[in-house]
Amino acid sequence: MKYYKIYWGLLALTILISCSKEKQPTPPPATPASFSFNSLKVNGIYNGLNYINVNYTPVIKLSFSAAVNHTTVANSISLKSKTGTAVNYTVAYENNDSTVVVTSSILQPITQYTLIVSINLKSSKNGVLQSPVSLQLTTAIDPADKFPQISDDALLDLVQKQTFKYFWDFGHPTSGLARERNTSGETVTIGGSGFGVMAIVTGVSRNFITRADGLTRMQKIVSFLKNTAQTFHGAFPHWMNGTTGAIIPFSTQDDGADLVETAYLMQGLLTARQYFNSAGTDETKLRTDINTLWNNVEWDWFRQNNQNTLFWHWSPNYGWSTNMQVNGWNEALITYVLGASSTTHAITKAVYDNGWALNGGMKNGNTYYGVKLPLGPAGGGPLFFSQYSFMGINPNGLSDAYASYDQQNTAHTMINYNYCVANPKAYNGYSANCWGLTASDIENGYTASSPTNDVGVIAPTAAISSLPYTPTQSMQALKFFYYKLGDKMWGQYGFYDSFNLTDTWFASSYLAIDEGPIIVMTENYRSGLLWNLFMSCPEIKTGMKNLGFTGPYL
């Protein structure tokens, strides 16, 4: 009996132990250790994850904390351009397979590429990459000339002639006015058309077209403005339909008169009036029609109830609601000069002093990048400030109570130049060859670039239209734009509007207000033609004297 109990006790213990073993979980298989990205070099140099001015066959070495699994590389490493185009590459291995050496096929100049290593990359022991890697490469400018070298004079001829085509070949077929931009269709711009009129005068003078053809186009433009275009107290809108003359609102409340755009138009028309000066019937009629348009502008009415300032806009639907005064320093000096020069609706010196000059408030006097600035905002503002009004007004030797205007415009331009050379934001490409900040298209938008609003976009019009002020620096930039960037920046109507070498973006647009200053200010640099014509207007001489200006042309 005793042994029987021992037997059953041992049996129960065996069963208990057996059941206990069955309840224990099976241990999981061992998980491969993860691994990490350690370092990289592009062409033997480490510079973080962003590389600029890279050659076209870079060698990229990516080092990891463990050897990589070769079979996972192709599906985990991608090299693509900014537009998403895949780039072929080859791989090799170093450091016992812990370094992957990526060598691309030939890359394109001035192009942005991204190399991505995804977490699909595995180690040789099937470990998981802890986090993805993203590397950005921007290739260098191709240093080869894109066009044969020609003389400086021949290059200036070419730039003027090609730019002229925007206003001549692309002028609106019904009105002859300048389209706002190369994609505008029916939309014509009043200010840009004033620049275009000056371009036509230049084209005749340079024998790009005949005088007869230039006169015919001018009469088409002037007749449309006189008989078809919608005006308000003699002033034109910013935009209008080139066929019907009806307003196209620039913005909700800017759907009426724009006095500054009207001033740019009148600057051009008065210049044309002085050029087409023969006694023949056709040219006499043109001058008579221009005088009608000129005399119709009620500059004094835009004082808004006789205030001592001019107002930029008036709307038939919103009245003076924008309430934007024309005061400065900015691009609108010409508005006050023309207002003072009117023989029918003149403004007084008090309007100029109080409204435009802010009773001296437009003075600056500070030094920026080694240059003292007489007038205007910090850093000078965009370069069109020293260009738009001075397509007709000759600043050389011109002074008033507030500034010497050749000094003002040269200082403004040199600050812009020096800023770009200093390149405080470290944008790719900025240099003594590549400079110029002004209003232009930017990627997905438009902005008035300046030293205080620098988004990395250079506009050729900025430097080229500064030829009268900085001939050496401007010519250097023009040559760079044409010879080195010409494959991307030179087209049907001359230089495209703008570019960004940091983001490798190039505009495909042309804008009338950027095209016009190129041909006109280049001509003023070369011959002074437009300055001489505009300053020969007897009304302008009288008006500027009345405002207190002195100079050799007055």
pLDDT 10s digits, 490-521? 999 999 999 999 999 999 999 999 999 999 99
Residue 31 pLDDT more than 70? yes
Q: Are residues 167 and 312 in the same domain?
A: yes
Residue 11 pLDDT more than 50? no
CA distances from 74 to 61, 100, 125 (A): 15, 11, 17
Residue 9 pLDDT more than 50? no
506 CB burial (10 A radius; 0-12, 13-18, 19+): middle
CA distances from 207 to 150, 320, 533 (A): 20, 45, 17
Q: Are residues 108 and 177 in the same domain?
A: no
What pLDDT is recorded for position 186? 97
User: What is the pLDDT confidence band of residue 105, given thresholds at 50, 70 and 90?
Assistant: confident
Q: What is the mean pLDDT of residues 377-390?
A: 98
Q: Which amino acid is at 381?
A: G
Q: Tell me how far apart the alpha carbons of residues 534 and 539 are, in angstroms, rounded to a whole number.
A: 10
Q: Are residues 230 and 132 in the same domain?
A: no
Q: What is the mean pLDDT of residues 87-108?
A: 95
Question: Angle at which helices 512-526 and 190-205 pack, to 10 degrees?
Answer: 40
User: What is the pLDDT confidence band of residue 4, given thresholds at 50, 70 and 90?
Assistant: very low
- Within-domain flag for 382: yes
Strand bridging mode 445-448 / 499-500: unpaired
Q: Residue 399 has what DSSP assignment?
A: B
Q: Are residues 122 and 197 in the same domain?
A: no
Q: Are residues 160 and 267 in the same domain?
A: yes
Q: Tell me how far apart the alpha carbons of residues 197 and 273 are, in angstroms, rounded to a whole number.
A: 10
Residue 486 pLDDT more than 50? yes
Q: Name residue 91's beta-bridge partners.
A: 102
* Structural domain boundaries enclosing 124: 37-139
Q: What is the pTM of this model?
A: 0.92
- Within-domain flag for 8: no
Q: Tell me how far apart the alpha carbons of residues 358 and 150 are, in angstroms, rounded to a whole number.
A: 48
- Give residue for tokens 């009148």: 266
Q: What is the mean pLDDT of residues 427-434?
A: 97
Q: Tell me how far apart the alpha carbons of residues 195 and 460 are, in angstroms, rounded to a whole number.
A: 17
User: What is the pLDDT confidence band of residue 13, given thresholds at 50, 70 and 90?
Assistant: very low
pLDDT in tens, 111-143: 999 999 999 999 999 999 999 999 999 999 999
Q: Tell me how far apart the alpha carbons of residues 138 and 472 are, in angstroms, rounded to a whole number.
A: 30
What pLDDT is recorded for position 5? 46
User: What is the pLDDT confidence band of residue 8, given thresholds at 50, 70 and 90?
Assistant: very low
What pLDDT is recorded for position 2? 43
What is the DSSP track for 255-285? -SEEHHHHHHHHHHHHHHHHHS--SSHHHHH
Opening angle at CA 345, ends 341 and 346, nearest 5 = 40
- Within-domain flag for 2: no
Residue 15 pLDDT more than 70? no
pLDDT in tens, 401-430: 999 999 999 999 999 999 999 999 999 999
Q: Are residues 128 and 157 in the same domain?
A: no
User: What is the pLDDT confidence band of residue 28, given thresholds at 50, 70 and 90?
Assistant: low
The distance in angstroms from the start CA to the end CA of the chain is 142
What pLDDT is recorded for position 16? 46
Q: Tell me how far apart the alpha carbons of residues 143 and 485 are, in angstroms, rounded to a whole number.
A: 9
Q: Which of 107, 139, 171 is the C-terminal boundary of a domain?
A: 139
Residue 520's CATH number: 1.50.10.140
User: What is the pLDDT confidence band of residue 460, given thresholds at 50, 70 and 90?
Assistant: very high
Q: Tell me how far apart the alpha carbons of residues 109 and 222 are, in angstroms, rounded to a whole number.
A: 47
Q: Which of 139, 167, 189 is the C-terminal boundary of a domain?
A: 139
Neighbour tally for 360: CB within 10 Å: 9
Q: Tell me how far apart the alpha carbons of residues 133 and 145 are, in angstroms, rounded to a whole number.
A: 37
- At residue 160, φ and ψ (nearest 5 deg) are -65, -45
Q: Are residues 160 and 270 in the same domain?
A: yes
User: What is the pLDDT confidence band of residue 33, given thresholds at 50, 70 and 90?
Assistant: confident
User: What is the pLDDT confidence band of residue 1, given thresholds at 50, 70 and 90?
Assistant: very low
Residue 105's CATH number: 2.60.40.1220
Neighbour tally for 428: CB within 10 Å: 20
What pLDDT is recorded for position 61? 97
Q: Are residues 179 and 51 in the same domain?
A: no
- Within-domain flag for 475: yes
Q: Are residues 74 and 162 in the same domain?
A: no
> Residue 190's closest CA among 243, 290, 255, 260?
260
> Residue 524's closest CA among 406, 375, 401, 373?
406
Q: What is the pLDDT of the chain when averaged over all its residues?
A: 95
Instruction: Count H helices and E strands in the chain, helices first.
Output: 15, 21
**Helix (H/G/I), strand (E/B), else coil: 54:** strand
- Within-domain flag for 196: yes
The contacts of residue 509 (CB under 8 Å, 6+ apart) are 181, 182, 183, 441, 496, 497
Q: Are residues 202 and 98 in the same domain?
A: no
Q: What is the mean pLDDT of residues 95-115?
A: 95
- Within-domain flag for 115: yes
The number of domains in the chain is 2
pLDDT in tens, 213-262: 999 999 999 999 999 999 999 999 999 999 999 999 999 999 999 999 99
Q: Are residues 121 and 213 in the same domain?
A: no
Q: Tell me how far apart the alpha carbons of residues 65 and 164 are, in angstroms, rounded to a whole number.
A: 61
- Six token digits for residue 61: 């070495």
CA distances from 493 to 76, 391, 437 (A): 45, 20, 21
For the four alpha carbons of 492, 493, 495 and 500, in that order, the dihedral sign comes to negative
Q: Which of 117, 139, 161 is the C-terminal boundary of a domain?
A: 139
Q: Are residues 219 and 109 in the same domain?
A: no
pLDDT in tens, 515-533: 999 999 999 999 999 999 9
